[in-house]
Amino acid sequence: MSARVSIVIPTWNRKELLRECLESIGTQTFREFDVIVVDDGSTDGTVEDVRKSFPHAQVVARPVNGGFCAAANAGIREASSEYILLLNNDMTLNARCLERLVAKADASDAAMFAPLVVWRAEPEIIYGTGDLQRTDGRPESRGFRRPIRECTYAEDVFGVSAGAALYRREVFDRVGVFDERFVAYFEDSDLNFRARLAGYRACFVADAIAKHVGSASLTGRTWWRTRQCCRNHALLVIKNMPAPLLIRYLPSILLERLRSIGRVISSARAEFGMARAIIVLAGLWWELVGLIPHALAERRRIQRGRTVSAAQLDTLLTRPDGHL
């Protein structure tokens, strides 16, 4: 029987977490899937462990760590199924998660599907119910850190988190894969934005449950995560925000830029001291300047191909105060 779903798992070290992820996949009630593990230059024996303990999984071994985007794209290109489920290596799935995601996809005209993701250590607390896109350009995880019992969320959501999400293959065929210039962080928000501009919808599937450890591959690198978010916030806005909305929301976008810069300085200073924090910030800006030509070229391509008007997109965005 041919697979309807290709499960793509980019991974970098932490083979014990990947093992738990793969074991949870083995418990799925929906069985029409194949598994593609993309090892992104691990040094802890991940490749050997997967090949020995999970021989059914296809392993794509990349010799050098290139970041989440490059690893995820390598897996997507290997996949041939109508649906692609992307998973972080620190995700585990409840037994009926995949079944419920596929059932919703089969019955829906949406193209991206988000499970209910909870914290593995606190399963009564939400990690995410899909992603929002704010008017100031910053994405955020809907429901983050809120108790499940206090929340009810609509199925319609701006986008999905690539840490655990089901996509129709046609999304990647039409709008492209992850932009590898992002390396990691907000790359899924960039894909969400491109997909929404192309007319695709996203859907939250509340009865499909996944459990997340959280940034397991980047333990101890808070400053780098903060730096990447600042850098990629700029790329996200430059590439995707239509000109009328860019003008309308420019004050809030600039305010978020200032806050983001402040977070970079604060996190780098806490780890290295103020002198090194200034060097980190200078390096960030130098790198960002070099990426602007790429972002502008992508902007022209994305905006030419969009099928959603600025006014229609505006109704999908979330104000920083939490209102649509």
Instruction: Compute the distance between CA of residue 243 and CA of residue 189 in angstroms, rounded to an integer.
Output: 18
Site of tokens 């059932």: 103
Q: How many helices (H) and strands (E) does the chain have?
A: 11, 12
b vs e for 248-262, b when ≥16 Cβ sit within 10 Å of the residue's Cβ?
ebeebbeebbeebee
H-helix segments, 241-273: 243-248, 250-272
Amino acid at 311: A
Cα 76 from Cα 317, distance rounded (Å): 28
Residues 284, 55: Cα–Cα separation, whole Å = 42
Q: What is the pLDDT along the chain (324 residues), one digit of tens a residue?
A: 689 999 999 999 999 999 999 999 999 999 999 999 999 999 999 999 999 999 999 999 999 999 999 999 999 999 999 999 999 999 999 999 999 999 999 999 999 999 999 999 999 999 999 999 999 999 999 999 999 998 889 999 999 999 999 999 999 999 999 999 999 999 999 999 999 999 999 999 999 999 999 765 555 578 999 999 999 999 999 999 999 999 999 999 999 999 999 999 999 999 999 999 999 999 999 999 999 999 999 999 999 999 999 999 999 999 987 556
pLDDT at 119: 97
The answer to whether 112 and 201 are in contact (CB under 8 A) is: yes
Q: Which of 101, 69, 100 is nearest to 83 (CA)?
A: 101
Is residue 222 within 8 Å of residue 271, measured between CB atoms? yes
Which amino acid, 9? I
Predicted confidence at residue 219, as pLDDT, reads 53
3 state DSSP class of 218: helix
* pTM for this prediction: 0.95
Contact 200, 169 (CB under 8 A): no
* Superfamily name with CATH number, domain 5-218: Spore Coat Polysaccharide Biosynthesis Protein SpsA; Chain A (3.90.550.10)
The per-residue pLDDT for 218 is 52
Contact 245, 315 (CB under 8 A): no
In this structure, how many other beta carbons lie within 10 angstroms of the beta carbon of residue 61? Answer: 16
Going from the C-alpha of 92 to that of each of 141, 192, 202, the distances in angstroms are: 18, 23, 22
Positions of CATH 3.90.550.10 in the chain? 5-218
Contact 129, 142 (CB under 8 A): yes
Sign of CA dihedral 102, 108, 113, 117: negative
